[in-house]
Structure 1
Amino acid sequence: MANLKKCLRTCIVCRTKLEKVDLLRLRCENKKLVPYNNYGRSFYICNQCLDVCFDVTDETKNLKSIKKLEKSLFRECKNKDEYLVQLKEILTHVRKSKSL
């Protein structure tokens, strides 16, 4: 029996290597952040980074994490836009579709 290894991917924010299941896959298209649709270059953000960034209980840690997330998105998408707003929209859409 073959010993299959699981594919690990790297979160662009915290640089930890995780399985695909624990990551959200996104890409930049025409200066907009969109969910990955099997075409073009993509990047991953782990669920922990997303939870920390959009958690409202710890504001000091939240600000630092948001800046780190913004910087990572700027680096991946090569321009400065309102990526956090777009990311929040994607997350609410993804979470709604998972609950259905």
Structure 2
Amino acid sequence: MSQPIRMCIVCRERSLQGSLQRLQIVDGKLVLFSKVGRSFYICKACMTNNEKKVVKILNNKCKTNHKAMMEFGKIFKEIGSNG
């Protein structure tokens, strides 16, 4: 049986679904996927190495302002250190 393949929104590389972190934006905040609503995947390499690029992409995708961009960076570090 084949495993699902998903794409990282930062580097756009395809990987097995289990090797990517699934996140979503709820009320303007970055959270782990709650199994309801739209979500996106980010690979662990991008989580640790491309913080500026990740923040820029999240800001663009979520249509938030510059102030929220800094908040994403802080939350993203917390999620990255836990996962």
TM-score clears 0.5? yes
Unaligned runs of 5+ in 2: none
Contact 2:6–2:17 (CA<8 Å) still a contact in 1?
A: yes
Kept in 1: contact 2:47–2:76 (CA 8 A)? no
Q: Which shows bigger deviation, 83-92 or 5-14?
A: 83-92
Across the aligned residues of Structure 1 and Structure 2, the Cα RMSD in angstroms comes to 1.4
Residue among 1, 5, 9 paired with 2:6: 9
Aligned to 2:79: 90
1:30 partner letter:
D
Output the amino acid matched with 2:51.
I
Aligned length: 79
1:18 aligns with 2:3: no
Name structure 1 gaps, 5 residues minimum: 53-64, 96-100
In the superposition, the TM-score normalised over structure 2's length comes to 0.83
The sequence identity of aligned pairs, in percent, is 38
1:42 correspondence with 2:31? no
Deviations 1:30-71 (A, max 9, x none): 11000001010000100111122xxxxxxxxxxxx3331112
Higher Rg of the two aligned structures: 1
Give the Cα separation in 1 of the matches to 2:14 and 2:60.
19
Runs ≥4 residues deviating over 6 A: none
Higher strand share: 2
Decide whether aligned partners of structure 1 residues 51 and 66 sit closer, same or farther in structure 2, where only a CA change above 3 A counts: closer
